[in-house]
Structure 1
Amino acid sequence: MGSSPQSFEFPAWPQYGEEERNALNRALDQGQWWRIGGSEVDTFEEEFAEYHGAPYALAVTNGTHALELALQVLGVGPGSEVIVPAFTFISSSQAAQRLGAVAVPVDVDPETYCIDPAAVAAAMGPRTKAVMPVHMAGQIADMDALEKLAADAGVAILQDAAHAHGARWQGKKVGELGSVAAFSFQNGKLMTAGEGGAVTFPTRELYDSAFLRHSCGRPPTDRKYFHNTSGSNFRMNEFSASVLRAQLGRLGGQIDTREERWPLLASLLAEIPGVVPQARDERNDRNPHYMAMFRVPDLGEERRNALVDTLIERGLPAFVGFRAIYRSDGFWESAAPEESVEDIARRCPNSEALTRDSVWLHHRTLLGTEQQMHDIAAVIAESMAGA
């Protein structure tokens, strides 16, 4: 028999302890609570950049702003296009649209759920300024193929790494892949201060441009209000940075645990009739597993939704998968492509299917015990039989 809701005592999220408390007191006691006068944000940026193998990192207010700022310093604006996966959280497209650029959704791989390089190649045109692979649930997109496409076309890559803290591709960390990457520290993410974001950069020039634009165009040493560029206030505060420094210290051990648990859970899920777990590209040799994702092909959206409700009732932190971005009204409000919903849907069959049949479990489930992986699978199997 499966577990009752009361038996699922997964680790709480967020995780915190004396490290975070001490960090907050340290930020408080320095008497300067914004980044220009304090030291927590500067130190966190150095530590985060080093952890990810990046020359530079810039901390910002949230992950959506991280994407928007990164696109801006890469030259994205009105008249340009950004290729994004159709299956992603809508911030990926809205960051481009907020800058006046058209977001062009393309299909994803049906097994890894990451952007399909062949679909990217088909969508490239004279106005393409950037390609935005999303490392879905911690699975790094096919960066080998994407880097070649981008280099041949002379366009930039912006990695949406909101799910990929600590990930590695063929031994290289996210910041070592040679392109800009954007991260999120929202409350559910792999490390969090409630909100927050960061951008890693391969060059000093890009970092300097981003610093100006994230601080209203003002250099850090300016005292006479000379604003060198346009921009906004995307600065992170000292308290958030202090918490994130403590969270970064927890990240590696948590990834180790999830890397041990997911192969077991995935193998158990694969044994359940009708359940297909997210596949792993073995070139992604360290996956932080932001979500434990699986599909229930042919179940249909209504029954998938009912299945998720049942899983929640049984004590699992379960969620429906993302809706294809072009199937949300917000996508069409500004800077949308000159296509209909159905036009895009026809060239994005995998994203259409994932909209209807994908399910995910919060990553704290993968911090549970080996026995809990068996219990999770048992509950999903029983719920599937009922569905």
Structure 2
Amino acid sequence: MNARPAPEFPEWPQFDDAERDGLIRALEQGQWWRMGGAEVSAFEEEFGAYHGAPHTLAVTNGTQALELALQCLGVGPGTEVVVPGFTFISSSQAAQRIGAVAVPVDIDPSTYNIDSEAVAAAITDRTRAIMPVHMAGLIADMDALAKISVETGVPVLQDAAHAQGACWQGKRVGELGTVAAFSFQNGKLMTAGEGGALLFPDEETYETAFLRHSCGRPRTDRHYLHAISGTNMRMNEFSAAVLRAQLRRLDEHRAVRDERWKTLSALLGEIPSVVPQGMDPRVDRNSHYMAMFRIPGISEKDRNRLVDTLFAAGLPAFAAFRAVYRTEAFWEIGAPDLSVEEVAERCPAVEAISADGLWLHHRVLLASEDAICDTAAIIAAAVAAA
């Protein structure tokens, strides 16, 4: 591959005086935890309003957001949760950590989102939740999943860790009628290093979640009368202050990423053997957490070499998620009564994308048009050489 200058990409995370002012504001208020301060409550109100949700709860991180939501939906020992086989492992581990069995199913080979037909086939009398993951910010088929939910009585929990600001047919994530979980880990589209949030369509589930996230203790309790079992998942005031600032630039960033992805996906589509992540026309706002693409037919070994080549050329490139069931962690607890190969046989698209998929960090999509063109040229040269 001919050497060429590395494109210039913005740093991530991004911050300015808004974050600095927020941290000072949180510091000087004199109360640094949510029960005495004002930042967490303000963030919950602002984040919920932005996503169209009537109730919002900020928590420590996205993984615990999923665990908490699953508990509130009745998930626990002896139950099952349907998850995509292709996702970051927190999606399955959230169910497994609270005693449930995670049941991986296949995905759509174009959008990389959970396959609704596979979901329907996986439902049993032990299923207590269906967990779509809005992969790279592209919302899953919420119409089909809602239909399955109505027919079976199994609730949907949106893993929206990638989907801040996304919309499905004009509806924001908080307007889709289900619980939704978000992550604010360092690489996410808005971040405080760590953090998470839950959106709730009803007050009862929200109130249960609030108790469980605060050691089961009612807001006004002064005598340690813990009402239900819980743990400490409370977000601190400093994280909330940073996230309030991050939220204010989310729309601007999303608009830039959307324009850059149009350019990059078109250029990637012109490269022989390269297939960019597909679109669903019902998704009218894609948050573009990752710039994802496939090279169908490449071996996992050669894909990994290609990732190393792109990284050496200055691109923030990564291999796609490994199938959750092809990790040792998945089988430690809460695994289905099947072998690895039996699960894999049910998930052909997961198997393929885990081996031939790549992604670029979303800061690439905040770069200039020239940098996008250079990125595509580097990928084209690397693929040709491979």
Match of 2:4 in 1: 4
Match of 2:292 in 1: 293
Whole-Å Cα distance in 1 between the matches of residues 286 and 58 of structure 2? 23
Whole-Å Cα distance in 2 between the matches of residues 204 and 112 of structure 1? 33
Whole-Å Cα distance in 2 between the matches of residues 89 and 118 of structure 1? 21
Match of 1:150 in 2: 149
Structure 2 residue matching 1:304: 3-state secondary structure? helix
Measured against aligned partners, the alpha-carbon deviations of 1:111-153 in whole angstroms (never above 9, x if no partner) come to 0000000000110111111100000000000000000001100
Q: State the Cα distance separating 1:4 from its structure 2 match.
A: 3.3
Q: State the Cα distance separating 1:3 from its structure 2 match.
A: 7.3
Match of 2:33 in 1: 34
Match of 1:204 in 2: 203
Structure 2 residue matching 1:164: 3-state secondary structure? coil
- Listed as ranges, the matches of 1:244-259 within 5 Å are 244-259=243-258
Match of 1:360 in 2: 359
**Structure 2 gap segments, 5+ residues each:** none
The answer to whether structure 1 residue 126 and structure 2 residue 112 are counterparts is no
Match of 2:19 in 1: 20
Whole-Å Cα distance in 1 between the matches of residues 219 and 299 of structure 2? 53
Q: State the Cα distance separating 1:263 from its structure 2 match.
A: 1.0
8 Å contact kept, 1:73–1:206: yes
Measured against aligned partners, the alpha-carbon deviations of 1:284-304 in whole angstroms (never above 9, x if no partner) come to 100010000000111110000
Match of 1:319 in 2: 318
Match of 1:375 in 2: 374
Match of 1:267 in 2: 266
Whole-Å Cα distance in 2 between the matches of residues 8 and 24 of structure 1? 33
Whole-Å Cα distance in 2 between the matches of residues 69 and 168 of structure 1? 24
Residues 286 and 3 of structure 1: CA distance in aligned 2, closer, same or farther (over 3 Å): farther
**Structure 1 gap segments, 5+ residues each:** none
Match of 1:187 in 2: 186
8 Å contact kept, 1:219–1:227: yes
TM-score w.r.t. the length of structure 1 is 0.99
Match of 1:93 in 2: 92
Whole-Å Cα distance in 2 between the matches of residues 286 and 259 of structure 1? 9
RMSD of aligned alpha carbons = 0.9
Match of 2:230 in 1: 231
Match of 2:82 in 1: 83
Whole-Å Cα distance in 1 between the matches of residues 17 and 321 of structure 2? 35
The answer to whether structure 1 residue 48 and structure 2 residue 47 are counterparts is yes
Whole-Å Cα distance in 1 between the matches of residues 21 and 316 of structure 2? 30
- Listed as ranges, the matches of 1:164-175 within 5 Å are 164-175=163-174
Q: State the Cα distance separating 1:194 from its structure 2 match.
A: 0.2
Whole-Å Cα distance in 1 between the matches of residues 120 and 202 of structure 2? 26
Measured against aligned partners, the alpha-carbon deviations of 1:318-370 in whole angstroms (never above 9, x if no partner) come to 00000000000100111110000000000100000011000000000000111
Whole-Å Cα distance in 2 between the matches of residues 9 and 27 of structure 1? 34
The answer to whether structure 1 residue 337 and structure 2 residue 340 are counterparts is no
Whole-Å Cα distance in 2 between the matches of residues 231 and 151 of structure 1? 29
Residues 130 and 25 of structure 1: CA distance in aligned 2, closer, same or farther (over 3 Å): same
Whole-Å Cα distance in 2 between the matches of residues 313 and 242 of structure 1? 36
Residues 246 and 47 of structure 1: CA distance in aligned 2, closer, same or farther (over 3 Å): same
Measured against aligned partners, the alpha-carbon deviations of 1:269-310 in whole angstroms (never above 9, x if no partner) come to 000001000001010100010000000111110000000000
Whole-Å Cα distance in 2 between the matches of residues 158 and 268 of structure 1? 35
Match of 2:70 in 1: 71
Give the total of aligned pairs: 386
Q: State the Cα distance separating 1:192 from its structure 2 match.
A: 0.1
| One-letter amino acid of the counterpart of residue 254, structure 1 | H
Whole-Å Cα distance in 2 between the matches of residues 319 and 91 of structure 1? 18
Structure 2 residue matching 1:285: 3-state secondary structure? strand
Match of 1:305 in 2: 304
Q: State the Cα distance separating 1:2 from its structure 2 match.
A: 7.5
Measured against aligned partners, the alpha-carbon deviations of 1:175-212 in whole angstroms (never above 9, x if no partner) come to 00000000000000000000000000001101100000
